[in-house]
Chain A
Amino acid sequence: GENVEQHPSTLSVQEGDSAVIKCTYSDSASNYFPWYKQELGKRPQLIIDIRSNVGEKKDQRIAVTLNKTAKHFSLHITETQPEDSAVYFCAAEMYSGGGADGLTFGKGTHLIIQP
Chain B
Amino acid sequence: NAGVTQTPKFRILKIGQSMTLQCTQDMNHNYMYWYRQDPGMGLKLIYYSVGAGITDKGEVPNGYNVSRSTTEDFPLRLELAAPSQTSVYFCASSYGDIVRGEKLFFGSGTQLSVL
Contacts and interface: CB of A to CB of B under 8 A. Distances in A.
Nearest to B6: A43
B106 A101 contact: no
B98 A45 contact: no
Contact of A102 (B48, B103, B106, B109): B48
B58 A89 contact: no
B45 A94 contact: yes
Interface in B25-76: 33, 35, 40-45, 48, 56, 58-59
A46 B99 contact: no
B90 A103 contact: no
B98 A105 contact: no
Given A44-B43, A94-B45, A108-B42, A103 B104 contact: yes
B42 A93 contact: no
A104 interface: yes
Nearest to B33: A102
B97 interface: yes
A101 B48 CA distance: 8
Interface residues of A, number: 25
B104 A34 contact: yes
Contacts of B40: 9, 107-108
19 contacts: A4-B42, A34-B98, A43-B90, A43-B106, A44-B106, A45-B106, A100-B98, A101-B45, A101-B48, A101-B56, A102-B48, A102-B58, A103-B98, A104-B42, A104-B59, A105-B42, A105-B44, A108-B40, A108-B41
A89 B92 CA distance: 15
A107 B45 contact: no
Given A32-B99, A46-B104, A101-B48, A106 B59 contact: no
Contacts of B103: 46
